[in-house]
A and B are shown apart, each in its own frame.
Chain A
C-alpha cells in the first residue's frame, strides 16, 4: 500500500497555479510535477472559509450539519480516525487555530502538531512554511516507516496579512515599494475593513497575495526534497489542495467571507504520483469526497458518518451533484444574526441560495466561470427544489 500525503494550502485560489492556466507562473516548482500529475480541473470546496471547508476536507461533513458549530462536533469522524484504527500511522502538521486541539481537530492522529503553544507575531500570526517543513522533517527523521503513513501538512502563508518578501514581490511588480509595516497596515486598514474603494490598493493587495503564493511554492519545493531524501516519493501519492480562495473585490469584498463565488470556492486539487502520467479530469468534484477517497486509496472502509463518496480510481469518476454551505457572514466575525448560505452545482449550473432575504442566484459555469451574470430568472422549480431538499435535509 502506498503512503498518502495530503498537502493543504490555506486560502489558495485555483487560478494561481500553472496547472490551472495561471499565466506567468507563480508556482514554478509545482509546475515541474505536471508530467506525473492528475489535475482535477473543476474541484469545489464545501465552503468559503476554513471552518466551513475543512469539515469537508477532513471529516467529509457539511458545516451546518449539527447546527452552527465552530468546534468540530464530537460525533464527527476525522479521516485520521479510521486510518489509525486500520493500523496506518497518522501524522498532521499545521498552524491554523481553527484546526487546533481546541476546535476538536486533534482526533485520530498519532502525531499532531498544531503550533498553538508556539510564539507567533502579529505580522506572521502562524508558524510559517519553512518551520512547518522543519517539524515535518524532524518527524520523518524519527519515523521507522514500518507502517503505511498518512501525512497531512498544511501551510498558512498565503493567508492574510500578506506580509510579502521582497524577493518574490519584486518579480511580480518591482514598482511596489512597501515596508512590512506598510503591508501590515493595509491588512489592518483595508482588508479588515473590507475597503475596496481604491482599485490601486486592491491591485496591490492581490500582488502581495501572489508573492505569498510564490513563497509557498518554495516551501513545497523544500518539502518535496525532504520527501525525496526519505525515499517517500517512490511509494507515496501526494494530494495538493486548498480550503478556499480569496476575494479581491470580484464581488464587492476582500478576504474570504460567506459567499459562494468562484474566487472563494474554486480550489486546486491535484494528485501527484511518480507512477502517474499527466491526466486532466474535467468532471467537477467536491472536497467533501477527500476523506472517503483517501480511505479507498488506503484500502480502509470509510465510516458511515462521511457524507461524501470516494472517486478513486479516478478514471471511473461519474458526474454528480455537489453541495456546500456556510454562514453568510460579511467581515471577519460571524455574527448571531448571520444566516446560512448554500450552493449546488449540477450539469454545469451553479445555484446559490442566501437565506438572508431568501435570494436565489444562478451561474452558467461553462459560459461564465467567474459568476458575473446571474441567470436565476431561468431557474426551474426542479433546480430550486433540489437545493432546498439539501438545505432542509435534516428537517
Chain B
C-alpha cells in the first residue's frame, strides 16, 4: 500500500520510539513502570512498540491499566479483552466504582455528593471547589472527567507504586501538545504521586499512526473503520464522516470535535456575549 520510502520513514519513527522505550526501561525499575491502554489507536501503537522491545529483550510487558469511565464503547472492551488474552497481558481494569454505583450505572443520573466516599467528596469539595449537592453522571463533563479519570489514574499510581507511565500522546493532536517532551516529570502533591509520563510516539502524526497500524498489522478498534477518528466516552464521541479514518483527509480536518461537554467552555462563551 505504501512506498518503500514511506515504509523506511515509518520504520525510523518506530525505531525512535523504541529508543525512548529502552531509555525508560533503563531509567525505571520494571516493577515501577506501567502503560495506559485505552484500546484507542495511539495507546495501542505504544503497547505494540513496547511489546516489540520486550520480545527483543526477552522481558515481560509492564503492567497495563485501562480506565472504565462507565460509558465505554462495547467495541473498545472487546479489543481490550481480545488482546489481553492473545498477548498475555497483565491488564488492570480501573474505575471509580463508588461514583458509578451512586449513579446506578445510569448516564446523566444525579449523583449525590454526600453519598460518595470521603475520598471522592474531598476531591469534589477541596480540589474542584464544587459547592453543589449533586452533579450529573457524565464521564466527559468537568466533574465526571476528574472523578472517572484523574482520580482513578492517581489511585492506580499509588496502589501499584508506579513511578512512570507510558502514554500515547502526539504532537499533532492539538496546539497545546506541540511543546510536549518524551519524558515529563509530574511533581507530586497531596492528591497526585510524583511520576514521569513517557510519551514515546510524540513524533507520530495521525497519518503515521494509520500507515503504521495498517502496514504492520497492528490491531485497531473496528469503530475507526466506520468513520470515528478519536474514541472517548461512547455517548460523546462522534464520527467525523462515514468512511474509514485512514481514508479521510486527515491533514485538513480535525481529529476530534468537542469531545468533552464542558460546562465552563459554554459558560465562557455566554459570558463573552453578556448572557451570564
By a beta-carbon cutoff of 8 Å, the part of chain A in contact with chain B is 74, 89, 97-98, 100-103, 106, 109-117, 120, 122, 125-126, 135, 138-139, 141-144, 146-147, 159-161, 187, 191-192, 332-333
| CB atoms of A117 and B262 under 8 A apart | yes
Docked Cα-Cα span, A114 to B260, in Å, equals: 11
B219-276 at interface with A (beta carbon < 8 Å): 227, 236, 238-243, 247-249, 252-254, 257-263, 265-267, 269-270, 272-276
| CB atoms of A74 and B242 under 8 A apart | no
4 tightest Cβ-Cβ pairs between the two chains A and B: A101-B261, A125-B272, A142-B241, A97-B269
CB A48 to nearest CB in B, in angstroms, measures 14
Q: A97-B269, A122-B272 are in contact. Are A139 and B260 (CB under 8 A)?
A: no
Docked Cα-Cα span, A271 to B159, in Å, equals: 62
Does chain A have a CB within 8 A of B108?
Answer: yes
- Residue ID in chain B nearest A100 by CB atoms: B266
CB A104 to nearest CB in B, in angstroms, measures 9
Q: A192-B274, A332-B273, A333-B275 are in contact. Are A142 and B258 (CB under 8 A)?
A: no
- Residue ID in chain A nearest B250 by CB atoms: A142
| CB atoms of B257 and A102 under 8 A apart | no
Docked Cα-Cα span, A12 to B199, in Å, equals: 48
- Residue ID in chain A nearest B259 by CB atoms: A117
| CB atoms of B253 and A141 under 8 A apart | yes
Partner of A110, one of B242, B273, B275: B242
Q: A101-B258, A159-B273 are in contact. Are A142 and B249 (CB under 8 A)?
A: yes
Docked Cα-Cα span, A191 to B260, in Å, equals: 32
| CB atoms of B265 and A117 under 8 A apart | yes
| CB atoms of A89 and B242 under 8 A apart | yes
Docked Cα-Cα span, A368 to B21, in Å, equals: 77
- Residue ID in chain B nearest A91 by CB atoms: B241
B242: A residues at CB distance < 8 A: 89, 110, 143-144, 146-147
Docked Cα-Cα span, A122 to B252, in Å, equals: 26
| CB atoms of A113 and B258 under 8 A apart | yes
| CB atoms of A116 and B262 under 8 A apart | yes
| CB atoms of B275 and A113 under 8 A apart | no
Of the A-B pairs whose beta carbons lie under 8 Å apart in the complex, a sample of 5, sorted by A's number, is A97-B265, A103-B266, A142-B247, A144-B242, A333-B275
A112: B residues at CB distance < 8 A: 238, 257-258
| CB atoms of A144 and B243 under 8 A apart | yes
| CB atoms of B275 and A117 under 8 A apart | no
The secondary-structure label for the interface of chain B is: loop
| CB atoms of B249 and A97 under 8 A apart | no
B236: A residues at CB distance < 8 A: 101, 106
- Residue ID in chain B nearest A161 by CB atoms: B273
Partner of B258, one of A116, A125, A141, A147: A116
A74: B residues at CB distance < 8 A: 108
A187: B residues at CB distance < 8 A: 274
Docked Cα-Cα span, A115 to B268, in Å, equals: 12
Partner of A100, one of B108, B254, B261, B274: B261
| CB atoms of A141 and B249 under 8 A apart | yes
CB A247 to nearest CB in B, in angstroms, measures 15
Partner of A138, one of B253, B259, B272, B275: B253
A115: B residues at CB distance < 8 A: 258
Docked Cα-Cα span, A239 to B176, in Å, equals: 38
| CB atoms of B274 and A102 under 8 A apart | no
| CB atoms of A116 and B252 under 8 A apart | no
CB A321 to nearest CB in B, in angstroms, measures 31
- Residue ID in chain A nearest B256 by CB atoms: A117
| CB atoms of B241 and A116 under 8 A apart | no
Docked Cα-Cα span, A191 to B273, in Å, equals: 11
| CB atoms of B253 and A98 under 8 A apart | no
| CB atoms of A125 and B273 under 8 A apart | yes
- Residue ID in chain A nearest B226 by CB atoms: A110
B254: A residues at CB distance < 8 A: 138
A102: B residues at CB distance < 8 A: 261-263, 265-266
Docked Cα-Cα span, A102 to B236, in Å, equals: 11
Docked Cα-Cα span, A89 to B260, in Å, equals: 22
Partner of A332, one of B238, B243, B266, B274: B274
Add 12 more A-B contacts to A110-B238, A111-B257 (CB < 8 A): A97-B270, A100-B265, A102-B261, A106-B261, A110-B227, A110-B239, A110-B242, A112-B257, A139-B253, A142-B227, A146-B242, A160-B273
Docked Cα-Cα span, A138 to B240, in Å, equals: 9
Docked Cα-Cα span, A138 to B273, in Å, equals: 28
CB A88 to nearest CB in B, in angstroms, measures 11
Partner of B260, one of A98, A113, A117: A117
A114: B residues at CB distance < 8 A: 257-258
Docked Cα-Cα span, A112 to B263, in Å, equals: 17
Encode B120-145 as 1/0 by CB contact (under 8 A) with A: 00000000000000000000000000
B240: A residues at CB distance < 8 A: 111, 139, 142
Docked Cα-Cα span, A131 to B42, in Å, equals: 28
Partner of B238, one of A109, A125, A126, A333: A109
CB A314 to nearest CB in B, in angstroms, measures 30
Docked Cα-Cα span, A106 to B236, in Å, equals: 8
B243: A residues at CB distance < 8 A: 142-144
A106: B residues at CB distance < 8 A: 236, 238, 261
